[in-house]
Amino acid sequence: MAIMSVLAGCFHPPSEAARGARSQQRKAERRRYEAEKRRWVEEQVALHLAAMYTYDGGRGGSVDVSRYGGINLELALSYEFDRRWKFARITRLLAQADGMMSGGAVKVHPLAAAEQIEAGRAGGEKP
């Protein structure tokens, strides 16, 4: 029975301080995410508007949002940011797991991985 009390001690809920710290960490991550999303969407809208008013023979910006149909440009860019952010997060988690197995650490910028894939597709490479 002594083993049961030891095991029961392992499964106690986190303390108030630990819950508060985790809550603050989540809020900080959310603020960083929202700030990065706002900055990226504004930058892409500016690129699309610049391309709309100057004919450059391109598609109208650095991000193709045609997959979202005829919705608002900012909303489409917001969806695209979320898609890229989630892809980069999964990539980072997989790279971290691989790094843990190989003994090294890998850092992935949230938008860089998705932008590299988009550039590869534009260049005719397969992902």
Length of the chain in terms of residues written: 127
Instruction: Please state the domain extents for the chain.
Output: 17-122
- 27-33 — which CB contacts under 8 Å span 24+ positions? 33/85
Q: Which two tokens stand for residue 114?
A: 């998705």
pLDDT band (50, 70, 90) for residue 39? very high
Across the range 14-41, mean pLDDT stands at 87
Contacts of residue 97, Cβ cutoff 8 Å, sequence gap at least 6: none
The span from the CA of 101 to the CA of 99, in Å, is 5
Threshold 0.85, pTM exceeds: no
The span from the CA of 91 to the CA of 113, in Å, is 8
Higher pLDDT, 18 or 25: 25
